Amino acid sequence: MAFTGVLFPATATGAPHRLRHLHQLCPKPRRLSSTTRTLALPSSADLPVLDAPVALAAASSVAALAAALSLSDPERRRRQQAEDVGGGDKEVVRDYFNNTGFERWKKIYGEATEGVNRVQLDIRLGHAQTVENALSMLRDGGPLAGLSVCDAGCGTGSLSIPLASEGALVSASDISAAMVTEAERQAREALADRPDLQMPKFEVKDLESLDGKFDIVVCLDVLIHYPQGKAEAMIAHLASLAESRLVLSFAPKTLYYDLLKRVGELFPGPSKATRAYLHAERDVERALEKVGWRVRKRGFIRTQFYFAKLVEAVPVGLA
Interface residues with ligand SAM (CB under 6 A) are: 42, 90, 93, 97, 105, 109, 152-155, 158-159, 174-176, 179, 206-207, 220-222, 225
Q: Which is nearer to ligand SAM, 65 or 130 (CB)?
A: 130
Collect all residues with Cβ–Cβ distance below 8 Å to 37 and sequence separation of at least 6.
6, 7, 9, 10, 126, 129, 133, 299, 300, 301, 302, 303
Closer CB to ligand SAM, residue 74 or residue 126?
Answer: 126
Neighbours of 318 (CB within 10 A): 11
Would you say 65 or 301 has its CB closer to ligand SAM? Answer: 301
Which CB atom, from 42 or from 74, has the smaller least distance to ligand SAM?
Answer: 42
Q: Which is nearer to ligand SAM, 174 or 232 (CB)?
A: 174
CB of 229 to ligand SAM, least distance (A): 14
Q: Tell me how far, at minimum, the Cβ of 160 lies from ligand SAM, in Å.
A: 9
Q: How far is the CB of 81 from ligand SAM (least distance, A)?
A: 14
The residue whose Cβ lies closest to ligand SAM is 155
- By beta-carbon proximity to ligand SAM, the closer residue of 144 and 163 is 163
Q: What is the DSSP string of 159-207?
A: THHHHHHTT-EEEEEES-HHHHHHHHHHHHHHTTT-TTSPPPEEEE--G
Question: Cα separation of 253 and 28, whole Å?
Answer: 24
Q: How far is the CB of 225 from ligand SAM (least distance, A)?
A: 5
Q: How far is the CB of 301 from ligand SAM (least distance, A)?
A: 11
How many C-alpha atoms does 27 have within 13 Å on its Cβ side? 10
Sequence-distant (6+) residues with CB within 8 A of 149 are: 138, 163, 168, 169, 170, 171, 214, 215, 216, 217, 218
State the minimum distance, in angstroms, from the CB of residue 129 to ligand SAM: 11
